[in-house]
């Protein structure tokens, strides 16, 4: 393991085995076990014993902290559903069979995830660390009064609001395959938060939003940025679109803190999406985020091939710490977790690039979106 000891930032990793007390159900694609798998792989690489880093036990948020964004009536419904039994009004709040099941402890789960994101934000805001990573966070679909897309409480919005309350200027970057609609909606009319989401086009997948013409309104016009990617987009297009749009916006906006959602569901083997990223392009983007972020609150997000999640977030944590890990996954880890679809014994994916006419059509579409953003958004904020 290679380390750059001269330039090692102060970092914090937030986790708790208490996450494993909760379960969306055996047929649900959201597997909380992926958090434990990631933690164990990071630990196997020795990345929790770095001299610059600290492990922080995740703690639950208080009800009042969730109420800084969510409606009180909705919170009362979540509390009632916490016993694992549907309440009469559950359907009207997005709860029930399907994406957002009622399971025992769903409110406690949401409080623990949100608490960890608030801890991460506080650690960065008060200067204890330069980077904090809460892999459980990034539940970007929940809105103020409704669950959506596996998300009951929007920990991102709650964490960002805690930073705004401290007078911090915040930029939000979302690289999940699904549009960060809940976060966008929360800040759509303000210029105090710049939100950027690069995701698979809403023409193909949930939530059906996030088109390039969604640029904010009123004071927020120009401060909501969306980069919809065509299906089958590969690492080359992902990195190209990101580099063309995100660094110039961050440079102009000059945030005090960057908050990111680092979803891993854009990878080619993910069962819920149609993108063809690998962790090679993902790591390029994570490295660029690190480069452009003065302070960084990193959150998890989607990812439904759990081996991919563990590998990608381990690599991301290594990048946050200026560490290069060996390509061979530690043998002891593989002996215990090989059944979790670790089809390769290497942490880095094979490089994959689309070719031919389909690639050219995708390149044209990505180019069109980039031109639109530069003409309509860059001009609004003076780039």
Active site amino acids = 179
* Numbers of helices and strands, H then E, in the chain: 11, 10
Strands 224-229 and 11-15: unpaired
Query: Quick check: 204 and 220 in contact, CB under 8 A?
Result: no
Spatial distance between the Cα atoms of 142 and 155, rounded to a whole number of angstroms: 9
Judged on CB neighbours under 10 Å (0-12, 13-18, 19+), 85 is: exposed
Answer for the pair 81, 152: CB distance below 8 angstroms, yes or no.
no
Alpha helix segments (H runs only) across the chain? 33-44, 63-66, 72-81, 106-125, 155-165, 181-186, 235-253, 279-292, 306-320, 331-337, 356-373
Using alpha carbons only, give the angle 194, 198, 203 rounded to the nearest 5 degrees: 120
Nearest CA to 310 out of 351, 285, 341 is that of 341
Q: How far apart are CA 79 and CA 352, in angstroms?
A: 45
């Amino acid at each position: 393991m290679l380390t750059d000891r001269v330039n090692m930032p102060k970092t914090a990793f937030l986790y708790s085995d208490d996450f494993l007390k909760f379960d969306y159900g055996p047929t649900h694609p959201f597997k909380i076990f992926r958090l434990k798998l990631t933690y164990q792989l990071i630990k196997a690489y020795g990345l929790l014993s770095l001299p610059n880093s600290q492990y922080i036990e995740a703690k639950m948020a208080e009800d009042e902290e969730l109420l800084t964004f969510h409606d009180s009536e909705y919170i009362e419904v979540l509390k009632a559903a916490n016993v694992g039994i549907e309440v009469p009004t559950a359907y009207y709040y997005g709860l029930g069979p399907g994406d957002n099941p009622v399971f025992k402890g769903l409110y406690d789960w949401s409080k623990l995830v949100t608490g960890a994101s608030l801890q991460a934000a506080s650690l960065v805001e008060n200067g204890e660390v330069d980077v904090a990573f809460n892999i459980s966070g990034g539940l970007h679909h929940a809105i103020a009064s409704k669950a959506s897309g596996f998300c009951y409480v929007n920990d991102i919005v709650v964490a960002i609001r805690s930073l705004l309350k401290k007078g911090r200027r915040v930029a939000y970057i979302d690289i999940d395959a699904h549009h960060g609609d809940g976060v966008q909606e929360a800040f759509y009319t303000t210029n105090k938060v710049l939100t950027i989401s690069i995701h698979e086009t809403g023409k193909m997948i949930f939530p059906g939003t996030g088109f390039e013409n969604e640029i904010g309104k009123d004071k927020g016009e120009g401060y909501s940025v969306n980069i919809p990617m065509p299906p089958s987009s590969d690492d080359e297009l992902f990195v190209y679109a990101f580099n063309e749009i995100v660094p110039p916006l961050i440079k102009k906006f000059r945030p005090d803190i960057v908050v990111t959602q680092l979803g891993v569901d854009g990878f080619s083997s993910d069962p819920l999406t149609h993108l063809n990223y690998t962790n090679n392009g993902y790591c390029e983007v994570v490295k660029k985020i690190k480069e452009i972020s003065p302070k960084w609150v990193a959150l998890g997000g989607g990812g439904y091939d759990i081996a991919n999640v563990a590998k990608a977030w381990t690599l991301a944590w290594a990048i946050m710490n200026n560490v290069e890990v060996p390509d061979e996954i530690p043998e002891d880890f593989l002996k215990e977790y090989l059944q979790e679809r670790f089809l390769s014994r290497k942490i880095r994916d094979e490089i994959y690039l689309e070719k031919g006419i389909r690639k050219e059509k995708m390149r044209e579409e990505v180019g069109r979106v980039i031109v639109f953003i530069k003409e309509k958004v860059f001009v609004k904020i003076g780039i």
